[in-house]
Each structure stands twice: as structure tokens, then as C-alpha cells.
Amino acid sequence: MKALLLENIHPSGVDLLTERGFEVETVGSALAEDDLIAALDGVSLLGIRSNTHVTPRVLENAPDLRAIGAFCIGTNQIALDAATAAGVAVFNAPYSNTRSVVELAIAEIIGMARHLTDHNARMHAGEWVKSAIGSHEVRGRTLGIVGYGNIGSQLSVVAESLGMRVLFHDVVDRLALGNAVRCGSLAELLAEAETISLHVDGRPTNRGFFGEREFAMMRPRSLFLNLSRGFVVDTAALKRHLDSGHLAGAAVDVFETEPRRNGHTFEHVLRGTPNVILTPHVAGSTQEAQENIGSFVAGKLSDFAENGSTVLSVNLPGVPAPRAGAHRIRHLHRNVPGVLATINTILAEHGTNIEHQTLATRGDVGYVVLDIADTPSDAVLAALRAMPATVRVDVS
């Protein structure tokens, strides 16, 4: 099977797939839609990061594609509904770079509190301005975390270890770690916190989540961080509140529009704004995180291709798939009544004995893994593929 890995995915992913017998091609940058369609000819596994967009048109024109690995946390760059309809499994790395993101957030909080970017710029310009005005310790200050998932909760623990008081808000009922205090509303959090850090996911309903109204509710001279998704923040509103002095500083790592390749010009309204830290979507880009992500996601792609395991798939039912028989049939179907009974009837009518069977459903789709002793006949496979509910049938 052929795998295509884009956007400088860490060699750990390349090595793992190569060791497991896949033919691996790598490309150092993201690909535009037409280029991606051309590159996917004959490709079974696709690995991307955040700048490659897998659209419905791409999926329609990639009949050989079996799985996509997002070597990052987010999957909003992938048309998940279209992938599911095409029977393409999608995997990501929800935990592998958590620590790296948290460490950058802490560094930026301290950097803004001490005006490190301003001091650095003056020193490089030959100006010596030794002053404590506007510089503060983070100990004893209040951090408000919006989104208390894997990253937000770990940031909570590390910030508390520095002596910060931690508040958080999440639409999901999350367990507070340490001495963190849950706020009943975003407004309550914004009214109390001196530093706000966003860690929300990339669902479409979060577009424009934080804008003029929310910035106006923040405490005067507070700090703001966005290390989540570019499109969740109205950056024009952020700029206004920085220029007016209402906010004392900001750190932004993600942008709604990002250059597709390294070296391309970055244009943004926040460029040149004092006490603003701009980083090129590198919160999770440490050597440790990228190595972990590379091996983790490549392992998920390999497991799916080899035995049909969908554990931690973003869009398909999660089925652990230990092998019990010599041959395996993987049947992805629309989640309607009677599918399993029909599958079993087909196999029984053709004298095929099932040694192990696993079924799981998720929303509109169901997934069955069947282990059998003998090679399935062409008649069996034809009958399974002819079922009205069938999305895809694979054999290994």
C-alpha cells in the first residue's frame, strides 16, 4: 500500500510506516486541492497537518484512499462527513503535543507580564531602558482558561504550580483539577481573570466565538492568548482593544488565514503592535511533540490498514480488532436495522464460518469486523458489497 505524507511530518511517522511495509512518499509543504487530487492517485493512506484541506471534491476523486491521519490535534481541515460517506477513516493526535502547547502558553504569559518583547526590541535597537514599570510577576494573578479539555486542564495544573489562581469555563461539565474553580458563565470568568487563554476546539459553531463583546467584558490591562483556532477570534476587535490600552498584551499562535509554505509573507493586522507575541502556529511544534505525533498517528494508520482497528478514529465507530482468524472482512455500512443479520445470513449461505465478530455504531454509520478461517469467496464479497446499506468492504 502507498502512503503520502505532507507538510514535513516527523521522520518517526515515515520510519514506522516504512518498517511496516508501506511505500511512503513525502512532500514538504501543503498541497492545493487540484494538486492533492493528482497526488492521491493510487494512495491508500494520507498524512497531513493543519494547512492541507481535504475537501469533499478531494474525497470524491480519491477512490483508493482508505484513511487520513491528521498529524495534529484539529481535524476541521478535513470534510469529516464526506470522509465518512466515502468510508475513509480519520485519525488525529489528541494528546501527543499537549505539554508543548501548555509550555508555550506559560512562556507567553510570563513574557507579556514582563514585557519581554518590548525590552528585546529596544535592546536590539541599541536602547537601554531599565525599568520595572508595567512588569509583574504571574504569581498571585488570576488565569482564566476558556476550554478545559486536554490542554486547558494541563495548563491549569502548571499555572497553579507557579502560584496562579485558576478559573475555567467549559460548555462540558469538566472535573476541576487542583484548586481550579469552575465559572458558571464566560461573563463570570472574564470579569475576574487578569489573563485569558483560549483552548476551544475547531467546530464550526465556534467561529467568531470571541469578539468585540467579549473583549469589552475583560478587565482593564489584562492579557489575552489564543493558541486554539484562528477563526474563533475577531482579531480586528482584539487590535482595537490593544491600541486603546484596554488590553495590556496578547499572544496569538493561530490565524484564520495562514501562509501555505514556509518563507511566504505573513500579513496580519496585529503585526507591529506593542507587547503582542506572534508565533507561526508552533504551539505544538517541539521536537518531542512532533516525534510523538509522528509515531502515534502513523501507528493508527498502519493498524487500520493492516487489521481494521478504528480505536480513536475521529469519524468511525471505535472497534479494537485483535486478529482471531486467518482472514478478515471489514464492513462499513449505514446504521440501519438488520445489517448484521444480513451479513451473517450471506456468510452462512456460502458456508463461511465466523470465528470472531465485532460490531460498533456511531451516529449514521456502523462498522463490523469479521474474522474467518478461509479466504472469502468472490461471491461472498459481491453479496456484501451489493447490500443497500454498504459503504465499503475491505479484506485483509
Catalytic positions: 229, 258, 281
Instruction: Find out whether 5 and 25 touch, Cβ atoms under 8 Å.
Output: yes
CA angle in degrees (0–180, nearest 5) for 182-187-188: 40
Which three cell numbers, joined as nine digits, stand for 204? 464550526
CA 39 remoteness from chain centre: 23
Q: Give the Cα-Cα-Cα angle 58, 209, 183 (nearest 5 degrees).
A: 130
Angle subtended at Cα 138 by Cα 134 and Cα 139, rounded to the nearest 5 degrees? 130
Assigned C-alpha cell, 346: 450471506
Question: CA nearest 307: which of 298, 315, 319?
Answer: 319
Please report, for residues 62, 68, 308, 309, 385, the alpha-carbon distance to residue 330 in angstroms, rounded to integers and kept in the order given: 19, 17, 7, 10, 11
Count CB-CB contacts under 10 A for residue 54: 25
Residues with Cβ within 8 Å of 322's Cβ and at least 6 positions away in sequence, in order, are 307
